[in-house]
Chain A
Amino acid sequence: MMQSKSTEITVGMFVAAGIAALFVLAMKVSNFAEFNDEAGYQVTAEFENIGGLKVRSPVTMAGVRVGRVSDISLSSETYNAVVTLSLYSSFDMIPNDTAASIYTAGLLGEQYIGLEAGAEDEFFQDGDVIDLTQPALVLEQVIGQFLFSKAEGDE
């Protein structure tokens, strides 16, 4: 009887430790905690070119993560990329003339959307559209323009 009791206790501890490890993986290692903040609001923005932006890329404001990209599609009228941003509900004080630009984290890093706050008193609501956007910098285009301007300058 004693034997089976201590067996049961150690098995209980084992199962608890395994579940605790899964919990650590969920909360500390993965982005599981973010899903609670999912109940935010969505705004869309049209970009000429989104470069290497992906769904789930971060959206930041002054370097602080305020949301993530939830959908990317192509507009059939303007042939621009339509990016849907999910912003966390705790950041509900973003002026509605805020500008969105696509930046790259580090030289080879992933691309993210940076928001620069505007000056309006009205804030973004669910379903609003960001009018001021700046496309991603495509390295080949920049080099092409540089070479072009250099060739012009030589003449």
Chain B
Amino acid sequence: MIETIRSLGRWGLGSFERLGRGHLFLFQILAGIPSIVLRLSLLVHQLFSVGVLSVFLILISGLFVGMVLGLQGYNTLVDFGAEESLGVLVSLSLVRELGPVVSALLFAGRAGSALTAEIGLMKSTEQLSGMEMMAVDPIHRVIAPRFLAGLISMPLLAALFSAVGIFGGFLVGHGLLGVDDGAFWSQMQVKTDWYDDVLNGVIKSIVFGFVVTWIALFEGYDATPTSEGVGRATTRTVVHSAFAILGLDFILTALMFGEG
């Protein structure tokens, strides 16, 4: 009995300790960001591996999500004789929700897991300790550029996702189902607001980029330095990122669109 309570206590203390370490880690990263200005080539290199390598996945997924939205939306709207509103449906669902959320989930799977595995492996092969031995701060040199790269890439990827998705919706709506293209674009422009819809979507994607990159880097940095530990950390990155994205999405949506 006492043993169960004790293990519960140990688990609770451990979780809080990890949470605290995570936040300290975040402050260290934020303090390390200004030093990136001196090493812009590091940032460019990370933008390549975090952002550019995710572009293909984002483009293909965005196109198909938009095409499915076009098909499904048409089937529902045609019952009300409102198929001209297909453009509004596709653009609002992509710009407000699916663009930021789905691209963040894909980003966590594609780039987040890679970051965790990379950092975790660096730790288990003692490259990070090696840097410290040479008086190079691994947070400045390794972590901060990756963090900034994730923060920059995510809104760009979400914008690409939304734009390609709307194009996919247009392909299906106009090309396959014969919705009038004038009505499709003009209704979309009337109902989609730059500030309320597009910019709020961009804010969402920046928040998701922040959280996903933070989780991925921390899991790697905090991983048990064994091959099993790195594997578990990678899994945790994807799972925790998904929780964080979907939970934060609800909170952000309630704040942004809650009052309708």
A interface, CB within 8 angstroms of B: 4, 7-8, 10-11, 13-15, 17-19, 21-22, 24-26, 28-33, 35, 56, 58, 65, 106, 108
Q: Is the CB of A31 within 8 A of B193?
A: yes
Number of A-B contacts (CB under 8 A): 91
Q: Is the CB of B192 within 8 A of A31?
A: yes
User: Out of A15, A22, A31, A106, which one reaches B189, CB within 8 Å?
Assistant: A31
B43's nearest neighbour on chain A, judged by CB, is: A11
Question: Contacts A21-B159, A24-B163 given: A11-B48 contact, CB under 8 Å?
Answer: yes
Query: From residue A106, how far is it (CB to closest CB) to chain B in Å?
Result: 7
Number of residues from B at the complex interface, CB < 8 A: 33
A32 partner residues in chain B, CB cutoff 8 A: 194, 198
Interface centre among A7, A15, A30, A33 (most CB of B within 10 A): A30
In the complex, whether B155 has a CB less than 8 A from a CB of chain A is yes
Q: Is the CB of B51 within 8 A of A11?
A: yes
Query: Could you tell me the dominant secondary structure of chain B's interface residues?
Result: helix
Question: Contacts A21-B159, A22-B202, A31-B194 given: A11-B47 contact, CB under 8 Å?
Answer: yes
Q: How far is the CA of A25 from the CA of B80 in the complex (A)?
A: 27
Q: Is the CB of A106 within 8 A of B192?
A: no
A58 partner residues in chain B, CB cutoff 8 A: 190
A108 partner residues in chain B, CB cutoff 8 A: 80, 82
Query: From residue B85, how far is it (CB to closest CB) to chain A in Å?
Result: 9
Q: Is the CB of B160 within 8 A of A18?
A: yes
A-contacting residues, B146-196, CB 8 Å: 152-153, 155-157, 159-160, 162-164, 166, 185, 188-190, 192-194
User: Out of B48, B91, B157, B197, which one reaches A18, CB within 8 Å?
Assistant: B157
Query: From residue A76, how far is it (CB to closest CB) to chain B in Å?
Result: 25
- Mark each residue of chain B from 36 to 74: 1 if its CB lies under 8 Å from any CB of chain A, else 0: 000001001101100110010000000000000000000
Query: From residue A12, how far is it (CB to closest CB) to chain B in Å?
Result: 9
Q: How far is the CA of A14 from the CA of B157 in the complex (A)?
A: 9
A30 partner residues in chain B, CB cutoff 8 A: 91, 95, 189, 192-194, 197-198
Question: Contacts A26-B194, A58-B190 given: A7-B48 contact, CB under 8 Å?
Answer: yes
What 8 additional pairs, Cβ within 8 angstroms, besides A7-B48, A14-B48, A21-B159?
A: A19-B159, A21-B162, A22-B155, A25-B95, A25-B163, A29-B162, A29-B163, A58-B190
Q: Which 4 A-B pairs have the closest CB atoms?
A: A18-B156, A21-B163, A32-B194, A21-B159
Q: Is the CB of B48 within 8 A of A10?
A: yes
Query: From residue A39, how far is it (CB to closest CB) to chain B in Å?
Result: 16
B194 partner residues in chain A, CB cutoff 8 A: 26, 30-32, 35
Q: Is the CB of B82 within 8 A of A106?
A: yes
A68's nearest neighbour on chain B, judged by CB, is: B190
B159 partner residues in chain A, CB cutoff 8 A: 18-19, 21-22, 25
Query: From residue A1, how far is it (CB to closest CB) to chain B in Å?
Result: 11
A21 partner residues in chain B, CB cutoff 8 A: 156, 159-160, 162-164
Query: From residue B97, how far is it (CB to closest CB) to chain A in Å?
Result: 14
A19 partner residues in chain B, CB cutoff 8 A: 156, 159
A18 partner residues in chain B, CB cutoff 8 A: 153, 155-157, 159-160
Query: From residue A90, how far is it (CB to closest CB) to chain B in Å?
Result: 17
Q: How far is the CA of A19 from the CA of B55 in the complex (A)?
A: 13
B82 partner residues in chain A, CB cutoff 8 A: 106, 108
